[in-house]
Amino acid sequence: MRLDVLTIFPEYLEPLRHALLGKAIEQGILSVGVHDLRRWATDVHKSVDDTPYGGGPGMVMKPGVWGPALDDVAAGTASGEDLTSSLPHVDKPRHDELAGVDKQAYGGGEDSDLPLLIVPTPAGKPFTQEDAQAWSNEEHIVFACGRYEGIDQRVVDDAAQRYRVREVSIGDYVLIGGEVAVLVIAEAIVRLIPGVLGNRRSHEEDSFSDGLLEGPSYTKPRSWRGLDVPEVLFSGNHAKVDRWRRDQALLRTQAVRPELLADVELSTADRKVLGLD
């Protein structure tokens, strides 16, 4: 997968070189280009924003800068160095890689030669795990990081000629700029690319994959500060452990995000645990 990020703060994207993403870069699964938007600014001050038509506070990012930048990135003519991995990781296999489960892609990718342009904005459609799964099959994703009051809307409208454009929000709050949203979205997508986590099961059981929040997890020691790991996890009975995990996921979802249960198919046993029957 190829990621390109357009931003006025390239250094904000440094975390994309670390941990699993850095490892994916090193393995050749991922390449990342981070481009300073000011390279496309034409005035002496390299300005990228101007006052809003119709008045109001704040500044709006200029179409005359964003348009050529997005054209160049779509055409592959935006020069610059790709991010390098922060550390050598390749020789250190993870626990779930050692499990030796086949690397398999999720379905749901869109069928088009155009790259995907993701424009983070609080006014966008909420970003979900389902989007992350579908987009983990993409070959080329471009991110446009807004600042100030955002980007002139015509940039997004015009980009639809060269991209499949998605305006997405990472939550109902307002950040200062799109860079942090890009880190969130890129991390959620890249971890689902086959080979990045190694074992597909490790994300198939994550929160949201089956519509529920994941229940609690435990590791050694068995007893810590007077708190014991639930007995069932030592039973060796996989069916019993699976049932317990399902119950915990149901109860946590009911307590924290009850609205999610409306989209989950509940068995008789599930309904009983939730006290619905």
Q: How far is the CB of 203 from ligand SAM (least distance, A)?
A: 23
- Binding of residue 7 to ligand SAM (CB under 6 A): no
Quick note: the x/- pattern for ligand SAM over 92-121, rule CB under 6 A, is ----------------------------xx
**How many C-beta atoms lie closer than 10 Å to residue 272's C-beta?**
13
Tell me whether residue 141 is annotated as binding.
Answer: no
Please name the residue that has the structure tokens 């007893």.
Answer: 223
- Joined together, the tokens standing for residue 6 give 């357009």
Helix H or strand E encompassing 276: none
**Set 52, 63, 122, 194: catalytic member:** 122
173 is in an annotated binding site: yes
The least distance separating ligand SAM from the CB of residue 110, rounded to whole angstroms, comes to 21
Segments of the chain assigned E as strands: 2-7, 31-36, 49-50, 60-61, 116-126, 140-144, 164-169, 223-224, 227-228
d(CA 83, CA 44): 28
Q: Is 59 in the site for ligand SAM (CB under 6 A)?
A: no
Among 171, 216, 230, 258, binds ligand SAM (CB under 6 A): 171
Pick between residue 3 and residue 197 the one whose CB is nearest to ligand SAM: 3
Select from 175, 229, 260, 266 the one that contacts ligand SAM (CB under 6 A): 175
Active site residue 206: yes
Residue 53 near ligand SAM by CB under 6 A:
no
CB 116 within 8 A of CB 158: no
The one segment of 12-20, 130-138, 158-166, 175-183 that binds ligand SAM by CB under 6 A: 175-183
Contact call for residue 146 and ligand SAM (CB under 6 A): yes
Per residue in 158-169, is it b (16+ CB within 10 Å) or e — as a string? bbeebbbbbbbb
- If binding is defined by CB under 6 A, does position 31 make contact with ligand SAM? no
Give the separation between CA 42 and CA 25, rounded to whole angstroms.
Answer: 33
Catalytic residues: 122, 149, 191, 206
